[in-house]
Each structure stands twice: as C-alpha cells, then as structure tokens.
Amino acid sequence: MSNLTFPIELWEGFKPSHIEQHDRSLKIHLTPTSRPRCHCGTEAQHIHDTSIRRVSERTILDYSVTLMVPVRRLLCHQCGTRTEHISWLKPFSRITERLANFVQSLCPLLPIKHLAQLVGLHWHTVKELDKARLRREVREPKWGQVRRLVMDEFALFKGHRYATVIADADTHQVLWIGEGRSRAAIRPFFEMLGEHCENIEAVAMDMNTAFDLEVQEHCPNAQVVYDLFHVIAKYGREVIDRVRVDCANELKGDKKARQRVKRSRWVLLKNRTNMSDKQQSYLDELLDANRSLMVVYLLKEQLKELWYCKDEETARGLWDVWWQQVQESGIEPLIRFANKLESYLPGIVASATHPLHTCRLEGMNNKIKLMKRMAYGYRDTEYFFLKIKAAFPGDPR
C-alpha cells in the first residue's frame, strides 16, 4: 500500500509513507512533515542523525500496529546535540502515549495478563505502565494532620519475608509500607514523620512485636494500644486450638463427636452475630458437649468486652473478673495465655481512651492478603506496595 492518507493527523509532525501487512499486523512507516524541534522548543536547523525506532501503537480494527518512526537527533544552539521532541512519544519509549494512556485506563479493570494479551504488549511492559499510573495517583499524606496510627505486619511472598504497613487510624489511609518487621525496619517511617511525631497520640499494634519500643522512642506523646483483632487471633491459636485438640483426643472412642470438635475451629472464632441459625445450633451442641471448649469460648467473648469500655477503670474491673475466672477454670493453656497477657494490660485498657477501630484493621489485613494472592506472580515489592497504597487512599477528614 502506498500514498495512503489518513483524514486526521494521527502522529503530529509525521505521516505514513507506506504500510506493510503481515497476517493480522500492520507495520506503518512514518515520514516527518516538519523540521524537528528540541525539547526547549527551538526548531533545529541541523539534523545530526536519524534512527528508526519501532514503536507499538493501539490496534486498528483488530490489526496490531507497529510504527517505524524516524527519530532525529538535532543540533540545538542552546542545548547541543539532542533527540527531537515528539509530542506523542516519550523519550526512549517504545509505545505511543495514546497506547500508554489506553492501557493505564484499563489497568484498574483488568488483570495484567489479560490486558497484555488484549493490547499485544509484554506483561512486564503493562506492569510498568500500571506502576507509573499508581505513582501518579497515590496521594501524599497530610503529615501534619496525622494523630493516631495503626501498624500491622503481613507475610510477603511465600512467607519468608515480612512487611509492615502503617495507616492513619482516623482516615484509614495507608501512610507507609516497608519490608521487614523489626524496630529498624519501621524506623524510616518515624524519621520521615520527623517533627510530626510529637502529634501522635495513640498507636494500635499487635502485642507480639517490638514496635512499641520504637514508637516510644520517637513519639513522646503516644500511647501504645494493643488491638483486639490480634489479641483474639492469638487467643484462637494459643487457647482455643489447644483445648480443641485436647477435647478431640479425649473423644477417641466416639468418632462422630471427635470429628465435630476437630472441625469446629472456624465456628469457635467467628462472631456469633455473623452466623446462620444452623451454625449457631452447631456451636451450641458443640459447647454443651465439651465443658472446656465452653469455658474458653465464653471467656473469649468476655475478654473482648475489655475493648469496649467507657473508661480505663471499668476495663481494669472487667479484667480482674476475667482473671479470677481464668484461674478458677484450671485450663492450662488459658492460664498461660492470661499470665502473658497481664503485662500488656496498660495497652489493652488504653483502648477505652483511644478506641481505634479494630474491624478496619482486620478488613485491611484481609484485603492485603487477597491482593497478595492476585499480585503473587509479579514478585515486584514496589508494585505491590503501590497497589496497597492505592487501595487505601483514605476517607476525607
């Protein structure tokens, strides 16, 4: 094909000279229609040299399109030897801005793999485009307004490495994510926060970390609060699971009852209000038949009350009652758990003064796990972190 003219100027400063067709793909050779311009705006008098760049363009009626672009280097009297400025093609880029924008507009809607197939680009190219989009879109936090934080850790790929996420407890914007879960790992966050550290009033976290020491070092006015979500998760692992296994072992002779106990983990940890009638009656039967399970289940519910008190004094009163019942229960894993928990009591009763919505933290934790499963193939930590930040942009204050 030759002498083909398009009714509109598709590539500013260039026009097609000839087009080759191979199966379902078109190779469009372009030729300049004007003198090259430098990035400073100066029109060049001298062309230094020209090289042909292969550039991917959006498809035309199901035909994939490659442009052959003669990119010129010019001699600018101000800047010296420079590559010409092309309005629709970034320096060194091998895809047009039109295609890049199209891909980026679809990134929130399609998985990278499918999008790459659709536009005929390598998934790596699509991922880099999405990364550029996220970098542009993720909002810088208003550091001076941050008062309360929540911190959480999560396992990175395959669980060999960890990362820590820090969010604003009030807006739920993710402020920072870093690899690791040690004190040193989170230090860059506080260094970045700088003078605003003084504004921090409360920080919610899992009691199983060394974060509290780091917080105390940087934020002189912050109260550490241990969040309900993590304490109950720990209770599930260290108390309910143990007692459940012991119960199941005692029921060796009764296969049906044993199975019932073995499969009960979920129903024991779930909130009763979120259960169907069938699940509730299953739970009731289970608890009726196993005294220890009943005790640890009820004491779990009672322990939760500590996070919903109107003041710290009430919370301490509830703790004393709970503590007494634990000691009287004679259930070893429960007593061990309570003994360990006691040293964290100031950070637990503090939630009466600083109620930090633990259900939001739990929701965040779950959403990150889900995103990890979807982003697993990329092994690109920076990309994954950007996606998390974009997923938690924060509510308006």
Q: CB nearer to Zn ion: give 76 or 205.
A: 76
Any idea what DSSP says for residue 121?
Answer: -
With contacts defined by CB under 5 A, name the span among 33-41, 208-216, 331-339, 384-392 that binds Zn ion: 33-41
Residue 67 C-beta: closest distance to Zn ion, Å: 25
Q: CB nearer to Zn ion: give 45 or 105.
A: 45
Choice from 3, 34, 78, 276 touching Zn ion (CB under 5 A): 78
Instruction: Give first-to-last CA distance, the chain, whole Å.
Output: 60
Any idea what DSSP says for residue 377?
Answer: G
With contacts defined by CB under 5 A, name the span among 14-22, 35-43, 223-231, 344-352 that binds Zn ion: 35-43
Strands 148-155, 202-205: parallel, antiparallel or unpaired by DSSP?
parallel
22-to-27, 65, 348 alpha-carbon distances in Å: 8, 10, 69
- Name which of residues 127 to 166 contact Zn ion (CB under 5 A): none
Number of chain residues interacting with Zn ion (CB under 5 A) = 6
Residue 10 C-beta: closest distance to Zn ion, Å: 26
Residue 81 C-beta: closest distance to Zn ion, Å: 10
- Taking residues 38 to 77 in sequence order and writing x for each that binds Zn ion by CB under 5 A, - otherwise, the string is x-x-x---------------------------------x-
Residue 80, SS3 per DSSP: strand
| Strands (DSSP E) found in the chain | 14-22, 25-32, 46-60, 63-76, 80-83, 148-155, 162-168, 174-179, 202-205, 223-226
Rounded distance between C-alpha atoms, residue 212 and residue 219, angstroms? 10
- Rg of the chain over Cα atoms, rounded to whole angstroms, equals 30
Rounded distance between C-alpha atoms, residue 42 and residue 145, angstroms? 45
Nearest 5°: the CA angle 165, 167, 172 is 135
Rounded distance between C-alpha atoms, residue 235 and residue 261, angstroms? 17
Q: CB nearer to Zn ion: give 31 or 81.
A: 81
Q: CB nearer to Zn ion: give 73 or 304.
A: 73
Rounded distance between C-alpha atoms, residue 213 and residue 262, angstroms? 39
Q: CB nearer to Zn ion: give 2 or 34.
A: 34
Residue 73 C-beta: closest distance to Zn ion, Å: 12
Choice from 1, 4, 52, 79 touching Zn ion (CB under 5 A): 79
Residue 42 C-beta: closest distance to Zn ion, Å: 5
8 A C-beta contact, residue 135 and residue 141: no
Q: CB nearer to Zn ion: give 1 or 40.
A: 40
- Closest by CA to 299, choosing from 348, 274, 334, 270, is 334
Q: CB nearer to Zn ion: give 85 or 354.
A: 85
Rounded distance between C-alpha atoms, residue 365 and residue 186, angstroms? 18
Residue 15 C-beta: closest distance to Zn ion, Å: 25
With contacts defined by CB under 5 A, name the span among 32-40, 55-63, 168-176, 299-307 that binds Zn ion: 32-40
Q: CB nearer to Zn ion: give 76 or 350.
A: 76
- Name which of residues 241 to 280 contact Zn ion (CB under 5 A): none
Residue 125 C-beta: closest distance to Zn ion, Å: 30
Residue 371 C-beta: closest distance to Zn ion, Å: 44
Q: CB nearer to Zn ion: give 5 or 87.
A: 87
Rounded distance between C-alpha atoms, residue 365 and residue 123, angstroms? 27
Which residues contact Zn ion by CB under 5 A?
38, 40, 42, 76, 78-79
